[in-house]
Amino acid sequence: MSPLSRITHSEDETIEFGRRLARELPRRAVVLLTGNLGAGKTTLAKGIVSGLGAAAPEEVSSPTFTLIHEYGRGRVYHIDLYRLDTAEQVATLGLDEIFGRDALVLIEWGERFPQLMPADRIEIALRAEDDTRKITVSPVSS
CATH number at residue 65: 3.40.50.300
Q: Indicate if the pLDDT at residue 4 is higher than 80.
A: yes
Instruction: Enter the pTM of the model.
Output: 0.95
Q: Which amino acid is at 142?
A: S
Q: Look up the domain containing 91 and give its range.
A: 4-140
Confidence tier at 30 by pLDDT (50, 70, 90): very high
- pLDDT of 1 > 70? The answer is no
Q: What is the pLDDT of residues 102-117, one digit of tens each?
A: 999 999 999 999 999 9
Range 53-57 contact pairs with CB under 8 angstroms and sequence separation of 24 or more: 57/15
Q: Is the CA virtual torsion 51, 53, 55, 58 positive or negative? A: positive
Total tally of structural domains belonging to the chain: 1
